[in-house]
Structure 1
């Protein structure tokens, strides 16, 4: 049994491209016949090529006033067939789909078929439960209070089952009084679209909202129909396996509205420019979509389908949205700078350097008109002679060490091992970790309605659960993931959960392998994380005399080679 709910991280960086002239073709990034020409300023191409060597695989589209400054692709779309990514390669865009769903709602508002302050229960009379009282506006801005998940990605879920599942979710706070990101809320908006438009959600979105100014469609859906046309990038997961290829037959109501769309980075950029220049919905609707909404703090606020940042963040106002799906292995991010009519869209298909990580790393320099930062040269040689095997800590945790070439992979098992290899830091404190651990234990103890349903679902597959033990927490892909060991009738099973501030499930995978970290030589007997963007844990690992020493912000942990 594997359960997974797509995760989202709102991007906090955006770029204002300086020095892009768009006058040079990029080798290896050619479009198919009849498509746009691949081109990028040599200075940008040089930097992006360096990031590709360090692990970025995907496509980049940057435009100003609708004219492309940089349109290029890097890395591999399919390792097995040696097929490179091109600017025509299609990627899943995950929760960027919400921007399209929001635009579809505004299209229906303009036609008088729905009003932003309509209560969703009036539009969907069969909807029961507390959510029936929330408004369309609150769903758009994630202020409805709707808490928890209505289904797992790539789970066959029909319309009636989706409505019943959403109706069973609790409201974490009175509608309109707080903020809680909700995939279920955007699926509910898709159900509203289907009801009031007289067409299916997918048909209406494809025919009305995906249509570009030149008459083409901006992609389609990753799974099901209408499918995004064009060659697809294979997604690669953290463990090296390939992701969902897009052949899930559905029904797709676990993702429709909140995820599911796919397209090229080029078409995502074209659509974004068209949206904010009034070519998708009316200028009056664009004003509402662009206006700062619920205050998220630190200069950021929620808007329908986007996050708006004011000038205090990077010097100019901008809007951005991002999404990824760890079952597919893709990540996408797009940003809009209104005062320059500038779009930056990136998509990736490998976990080494995601589109979001790349944009966050190079964004400040691009905004300032400075040369882009580039990663250091790759580690050379075979590296120090790290002994592979199992290393045990006195506290009971362990590290399993494997090696390939000059790269070492360490898998951590047990709270002490996971904490040593993935120490809290940066955006996450020890208090954040403890609070998240407590919310996950409360969930699996069945203290909430969603928790009781989750435990019941687990026991259907695993048998009666007699115990739940913490197995460590990591910060990955913009979220905390708490690993737990479930003691059940079928034996001990390990998995992880990511929950929101109110304890609702945002992502989960059961069963799951232990968290792993890839390392490269750092000189002498030391290794460092293979992490050129600097978003990973700040640790150094040393192998010497049968011992493995992990050093980080909280100190050191020493493990002995077993056997």
Structure 2
């Protein structure tokens, strides 16, 4: 076992795989935070503990929590059909087989529900085979790939495009990745009567003290914003600069991957989950303990988990994040909840031990498989 978190992070920075990174591991009352390297490839600014990152799919648990807030208020129910708020999905059709052409369809056997969206089993999303015709439309029509916030159309137009794409599976039949979190974001806005950025700011970020979390970075804070890169043949290639796509609020605030945040901010969200919905300092609750339990409990069948192996690696799924059910590796503690982001981020909680682990980097993942750094980080966080 490495002696410190810095020992885990520094070799990847020193070796040139990453410009920098911020790691946080909290066990009980002890919080270890390390910032190593630089905020950009050129080394113009050091990485600091409150550097701002594009957190990509770490957005998903936040969105799921927001949906559960509306469920608790009675604006939504888990078994509600989504059609009253999302009329574009009132009469979905399904391809005859996953490999069928997109015009070979059948009517859905039942409506899509709120629970289908939360559990990622609405019929939209990514399976193991990205080459399927219906999946290709998610990329070409909806830009369901690496975050490109300024290139996505406004929610109403996006939903109209979505309604023209057939489901890959019947509602409730299969776990599919990503798209349902974007649909949840539209659902939150329509059911609450607020824009998604406004709802999250008022109802989650402000109560939890998450000042650096949102869908864009204010001009005054761009100095703390990190560059975003991918690994190319010649080394790290710039994908998005500080003054790039996150410097203004996008037309489509992505519930699947649009947020920026800091280690301290996401840690505040994690503490709320560990406290079963309570806000630090006895300042009320965002969620009930039952809602947090639902979010962090596996709702997939063994068959659905096996079909999602490419993404889930044998684990289950709650609302907005994976739930460990099989101890394949030292870090797979039953009940461990969280997820990874395609921009090089990872965040998990272990309710049984009160542990939080959070890794923020700015290099795009090469695919669904977590890189070596994440596995080394998880091993350290697990004390293995």
Deviation, structure 1 residue 158: 1.4
1:170-181 aligned at under 5 Å gives the runs 170-181=166-177
> Equivalent of 2:213, from 214, 219, 229?
219
Name the Cα RMSD after superposition. 2.9
Tell me whether 1:257 sits opposite 2:255 in the alignment: yes
Aligned residue for 1:189? 184
> Equivalent of 2:376, from 361, 371, 388?
361
1:46-61 aligned at under 5 Å gives the runs 46-54=7-15, 55-56=17-18, 57-61=20-24
Q: Deviations over 1:440-496 (max 9, x none)?
A: xxxxxxxxxxxxxxxxxxxxxxxxxxxxxxxxxxxxxxxxxxxxxxxxxxxxxxxxx
Tell me whether 1:208 sits opposite 2:203 in the alignment: yes
Provide TM-score, normalisation by structure 1: 0.52
Aligned residue for 2:292? 286
Deviation, structure 1 residue 130: 0.2
1:89–1:232 CA contact under 8 A, matched in 2: yes
Q: Kindly tell me: are residues 259 and 44 of structure 1, through their superposed partners in 2, closer, same or farther at Cα, counting changes over 3 Å?
A: closer
1:203–1:226 CA contact under 8 A, matched in 2: no
Aligned residue for 1:336? 349
Aligned residue for 1:533? none
1:239-388 aligned at under 5 Å gives the runs 239=232, 240-245=236-241, 247-248=244-245, 251-253=250-252, 256-277=254-275, 278-279=277-278, 280-295=286-301, 296-297=305-306, 299-310=314-325, 312-313=327-328, 314=330, 316-317=333-334, 318-324=336-342, 330-350=343-363, 356-364=371-379, 366-367=381-382, 369-370=383-384
Equivalences, count: 320
2:70–2:192 CA contact under 8 A, matched in 1: yes
> Equivalent of 1:144, from 122, 134, 154?
122
What is the CA–CA distance in structure 2 between the aligned matches of 1:291 and 1:323, rounded to whole Å?
Answer: 20
Q: Kindly tell me: are residues 173 and 196 of structure 1, through their superposed partners in 2, closer, same or farther at Cα, counting changes over 3 Å?
A: same
Deviation, structure 1 residue 138: 0.6
Runs of 5+ unmatched residues, structure 2: 94-107, 126-134, 279-285, 307-312
Deviation, structure 1 residue 351: 5.7
Deviation, structure 1 residue 219: 1.4
> Equivalent of 2:194, from 192, 196, 199?
199
| SS of match in other structure, 1:361 | helix
Q: Kindly tell me: are residues 228 and 196 of structure 1, through their superposed partners in 2, closer, same or farther at Cα, counting changes over 3 Å?
A: farther
> Equivalent of 1:90, from 49, 52, 63?
52
Deviation, structure 1 residue 250: 6.3
| SS of match in other structure, 2:33 | strand
Q: Deviations over 1:501-536 (max 9, x none)?
A: xxxxxxxxxxxxxxxxxxxxxxxxxxxxxxxxxxxx
Deviation, structure 1 residue 216: 4.3
Deviation, structure 1 residue 155: 1.5
Greater relative contact order: 1 or 2 (C-alpha under 8 angstroms, separation 6 or more)? 2
What is the CA–CA distance in structure 2 between the aligned matches of 1:91 and 1:169, rounded to whole Å?
Answer: 32
1:223-238 aligned at under 5 Å gives the runs 231-238=224-231
2:216–2:249 CA contact under 8 A, matched in 1: no
What is the CA–CA distance in structure 1 between the aligned matches of 2:75 and 2:26, rounded to whole Å?
Answer: 34
1:76–1:84 CA contact under 8 A, matched in 2: yes
Deviation, structure 1 residue 211: 3.1
Q: Kindly tell me: are residues 228 and 123 of structure 1, through their superposed partners in 2, closer, same or farther at Cα, counting changes over 3 Å?
A: farther
What is the CA–CA distance in structure 1 between the aligned matches of 2:365 and 2:11, rounded to whole Å?
Answer: 13
What is the CA–CA distance in structure 1 between the aligned matches of 2:222 and 2:25, rounded to whole Å?
Answer: 22
1:461-500 aligned at under 5 Å gives the runs none
1:117-136 aligned at under 5 Å gives the runs 117-125=79-87, 127-130=89-92, 133-136=111-114
Q: Kindly tell me: are residues 363 and 156 of structure 1, through their superposed partners in 2, closer, same or farther at Cα, counting changes over 3 Å?
A: closer
What is the CA–CA distance in structure 2 between the aligned matches of 1:161 and 1:355, rounded to whole Å?
Answer: 33
Deviation, structure 1 residue 178: 1.5
Tell me whether 1:63 sits opposite 2:26 in the alignment: yes
> Equivalent of 1:116, from 74, 78, 83?
78
Tell me whether 1:75 sits opposite 2:90 in the alignment: no
Q: Deviations over 1:123-148 (max 9, x none)?
A: 23354540792111111111111253
What is the CA–CA distance in structure 2 between the aligned matches of 1:137 and 1:352, rounded to whole Å?
Answer: 29
What is the CA–CA distance in structure 1 between the aligned matches of 2:219 and 2:214, rounded to whole Å?
Answer: 6
Q: Kindly tell me: are residues 155 and 128 of structure 1, through their superposed partners in 2, closer, same or farther at Cα, counting changes over 3 Å?
A: farther
Q: Deviations over 1:338-387 (max 9, x none)?
A: 111100000112369998531213433553x35xxxxxxxxxxxxxxxxx
Q: Kindly tell me: are residues 343 and 92 of structure 1, through their superposed partners in 2, closer, same or farther at Cα, counting changes over 3 Å?
A: same
| SS of match in other structure, 2:169 | coil
Q: Kindly tell me: are residues 191 and 47 of structure 1, through their superposed partners in 2, closer, same or farther at Cα, counting changes over 3 Å?
A: closer
What is the CA–CA distance in structure 2 between the aligned matches of 1:89 and 1:120, rounded to whole Å?
Answer: 38
What is the CA–CA distance in structure 2 between the aligned matches of 1:104 and 1:310, rounded to whole Å?
Answer: 25
Provide TM-score, normalisation by structure 2: 0.75
| SS of match in other structure, 2:142 | coil
What is the CA–CA distance in structure 1 between the aligned matches of 2:215 and 2:221, rounded to whole Å?
Answer: 5
1:222–1:228 CA contact under 8 A, matched in 2: no
Deviation, structure 1 residue 97: 0.7
Q: Deviations over 1:232-269 (max 9, x none)?
A: 0111222333222364456432x521111011123212
| SS of match in other structure, 1:241 | strand
